[in-house]
Structure 1
């Protein structure tokens, strides 16, 4: 009976975690156990979130290159590439999405504009984890 209870709890946790995030693929950084490359769907924040606090206690603004993600650590830099047009932008993860949100990332409007998908609302993206330290802007040279 005890084993059945444990199995039921584990199955529930597994199914709940699968329902929360719909990610196509993940490659892990073995040193930190952080996803290095992910593919999925990106959206951008609604204007109603302007001025609200993020998980990192910052005031959200659509003007900054920031994003919310449930699969990466807070306070890290990532490179997001729009798979439709190959445009890239470097953003700071400073927030989390609602656990039931099936998308990979929710970006500020300025980040979405840089990636060229505000007219579509959603786009398929590749995310590359860059670390906690702000990387060199030369990483985005493929946009030019």
Structure 2
């Protein structure tokens, strides 16, 4: 089972010690505020692989395998250097400087709009991993996504909307 990055409890991944020790390493990209959002494209949803039912921390999850909308409000957390370079549920290497996120049941791959209701900022991320596995959270953001959204200080309220293929075709 490929549940690399988010299989640990998330309390250990927030706050100091998990973000970069200074500016991003050479070649990893620009200032987080300058990193463009993920560019949604229609990608096939495969059954099996990262979209098959799985268990994490004693709970069972059944990922969605259809192109359907999903909207949630809840808490976001983020994960950083502790998981940087490890395999995600999609099999890709986790890059804390990319605009990606983890979700328990959205199809992998998917794209989501994440909004911070406190400051009004919105970002688009590519869902390529599973998590968070703390029941009070709805999404785990990469470090860069958290910085752009203004939620890197810890757990923060967010609104998450999955972009469907129709949304992507419409340029939403």
Structure-1-length-normalised TM-score: 0.66
C-alpha separation in 2, matches of 1:63 and 1:132: 26
Whole-angstrom distance in 1 between the partners of 2:98 and 2:166? 17
Equivalent pair of 2:71/2:161 in contact (CA under 8 Å): yes
Match in the other structure for 1:127: 160
Name the SS for the 2:120 alignment partner: coil
Which of 104, 122, 126 pairs up with 1:70? 104
Partner of 2:44: none
**Number of matched pairs:** 109
Paired with 1:78 and 1:33, the residues of 2 have a C-alpha distance of 12
Gaps of 5+ in 2: 1-58
- In the TM superposition, residue 71 of structure 1 has moved relative to its aligned partner by 2.9
Structure 1 residue 47: deviation in Å? Answer: 1.6
Residue 86 of structure 2: aligned partner: 52
Structure 1: state its 5+ residue gaps. 1-15, 21-31, 140-144
Q: Which has the larger radius of gyration?
A: 1
Q: What's the TM-score once normalised by structure 2's chain length?
A: 0.56
Partner SS for 2:96: coil
Q: Which region of structure 1 is more displaced relative to structure 2, 125-134 or 89-98?
A: 125-134
Structure that is richer in strand per residue: 1
Where does residue 37 of structure 2 map in the other structure?
Answer: none
Residue 92 of structure 2 aligns to a residue whose secondary structure is coil
Q: Distance in 2 between matches of 1:72 and 1:55?
A: 12
Superposed CA deviations along residues 54-79 of structure 1, whole A, max 9, x for unmatched, are 01000001111000000311101000
* Two-structure CA RMSD over aligned residues (Å): 2.6
- Checking the alignment, whether the CA contact within 8 Å between 1:35 and 1:129 is kept in structure 2 is yes
Q: Which has the higher helix share?
A: 1
The match for 1:87 is 121
